[in-house]
Amino acid sequence: MEEILGYIAGNIELAPYLIFGLLLLAGLCIPIPEDGMLLTSGILASLHPDNAIPLFIGVYAGAYFSDLIAYWMGRRFGPGLWKIKLVEKTISMDKIHLMHQYFEKYGVITLIFGRFVPFGFRNAMFISAGLSRMNFIKFAAADLLACTISTLFFFNLYYHLGRPVIEYVKQSNYIIGALVLIVILAIYISKRRSK
pTM: 0.73
Q: What angle do CA 24, 27, 165 make, to 5 degrees?
A: 80
What is the pLDDT at residue 179?
Answer: 57
35 vs 98: CA distance, rounded Å: 22
What is the pLDDT at residue 7?
Answer: 77
Neighbours of 134 (CB within 10 A): 21
For the chain, what are the domain ranges? 2-166
What is the pLDDT at residue 160?
Answer: 87
133 vs 78: CA distance, rounded Å: 10
Phi-psi sector, 79: left (phi>0), alpha (psi -120 to 50), beta: alpha
**162 by DSSP, 3-state: which?**
helix
Neighbours of 105 (CB within 10 A): 9
What is the pLDDT at residue 16?
Answer: 94
What is the pLDDT at residue 186?
Answer: 66
What is the pLDDT at residue 34?
Answer: 86
Q: How far is CA 162 from CA 15, 150, 186, in A?
A: 17, 16, 34
The pLDDT profile of the chain, 195 residues, written as one tens digit per residue, is: 567 667 777 788 899 999 999 999 988 888 788 888 998 899 889 888 899 999 999 999 999 999 999 999 888 887 777 777 766 676 777 777 777 787 778 877 888 888 877 666 777 788 888 888 888 998 999 999 999 998 999 899 889 886 665 666 556 555 555 555 566 666 666 666 666
